[in-house]
Amino acid sequence: MEVGHLSDRTKIFLLLLPAMFIIVVLFFGGLMIGLMRSFNYMPVIGLTEPDLSAYISVFTDREFYLSFLLTFHIAFTSTVISSILAIGAALLLRRSFVGRSIVNFLFQLNLTVPHLVGAIGMLYLFSQSGSFARLAHEFGMIARPSDFPALVFDPYAIGIILQYVWKEIPFIGVIVLANMQSIGEDYESVARSLGASKWQTFRYVLLPLIFPGVLSASVMVFAFTFGAYEIPAILGANFPAALPVLAYRKYTDVDLAARPEAMAMAIVIALLSAVMIYFYVRYSRRRIRG
């Protein structure tokens, strides 16, 4: 118990041990088992010869490509739209105006509302018998629900993207706003006094300064939107389904032979998030230290 007599190395080791144990066993263990099973390799249950059959059937399946493209489209479009609007919102919140404290409060409120609740809200707003369809009917724009454009369960995943934009503007927004506040306005004043226009000041002074913060937040958003299950499960079309939904379906298929295929899809998602981690670490090393 005499902690003071331990060397620093022992102390660090003991302090980190429980957390590293949990992360290595649960997180990396889960990844490793998934990887092994995706190769049909599991000595414990007698599978001793790894093969590529799961990957072959995944990569020769048209549904997988459609699903991958859809998921990439969802993640990419949501991330780009959210980032741009979040920068706009942060610029707005930087100055005082009537209602700023309300926007601030709602920003924080939305951070605490789970994605699932937002997804159900979007369903009630944008489905063909939802609030907007009813409004359109009220103004005589549509006669029956099927006249209203399909914004949920639709092939372009508009409902899903709307939900992510709703949820991620505040997330990226608070990070960008804090970034702007710690940078201050001195650099911009100098640029303005040297004759730069408002746009030039934003484009060549402020944007490069906040860019690393925007990028690290965007990377988190991209990885999340690529791997989330419940939002496309509520708002998405049946075919093609988003990759996490497809992986879950394969995993829970009555045909147990589909499980290695589900694992292979999980590995595809993990590889893509590994690329995201690379970008995150590259642009946000200092954020990790708090």
Among 43, 46, 195, 290, binds another protein (CB under 8 A): 290
What residues between 163 and 222 interact with another protein by CB under 8 A?
Answer: 163, 166, 169-171, 174-179, 181-182, 217, 219-221
Shortest reach from residue 204's CB to another protein, in Å: 21
Among 10, 33, 48, 189, binds another protein (CB under 8 A): 33
Among 46, 186, 255, 288, binds another protein (CB under 8 A): 288
Backbone angles phi, psi at 42, to 5 degrees: -155, 80
3-state helix, strand, coil in the chain (%, to 5): 80, 0, 20
Binding residues for another protein, rule CB under 8 A, total: 115
Shortest reach from residue 171's CB to another protein, in Å: 5
What residues between 141 and 160 interact with another protein by CB under 8 A?
Answer: 145
Residue recorded with tokens 């990419």: 76
Among 58, 74, 87, 89, binds another protein (CB under 8 A): 89
- Contacts of 76-81 with C-beta under 8 Å, sequence gap 24+, read 76/222, 77/161, 78/160, 78/161, 78/164, 78/165, 78/168, 78/221, 78/225, 79/168, 79/218, 79/221, 79/222, 79/225, 81/161, 81/165
From 58-66, 98-106, 150-158, 204-212, span contacting another protein (CB under 8 A): 98-106
Among 50, 65, 99, 253, binds another protein (CB under 8 A): 99
From 48-56, 60-68, 203-211, 228-236, span contacting another protein (CB under 8 A): 228-236
Residue 6 is a binding residue for another protein (CB under 8 A)? no
Question: Which residues have C-beta within 8 Å of that of residue 154, sequence separation ≥ 6?
Answer: 237
Question: How far apart, in whole angstroms, are the C-alpha atoms of residue 284 and residue 213?
Answer: 7
From 19-27, 62-70, 150-158, 184-192, span contacting another protein (CB under 8 A): 19-27
Residue 47 three-state SS? strand
What residues between 115 and 134 interact with another protein by CB under 8 A?
Answer: 115-118, 120-125, 129-131, 133-134
Q: For another protein, give the closer residue by CB, 32 or 207.
A: 32
Query: CA torsion angle for 87, 288, 112, 218 (degrees, to 10)?
Result: 40
Query: What are 42's strand-pairing partners?
Result: 47
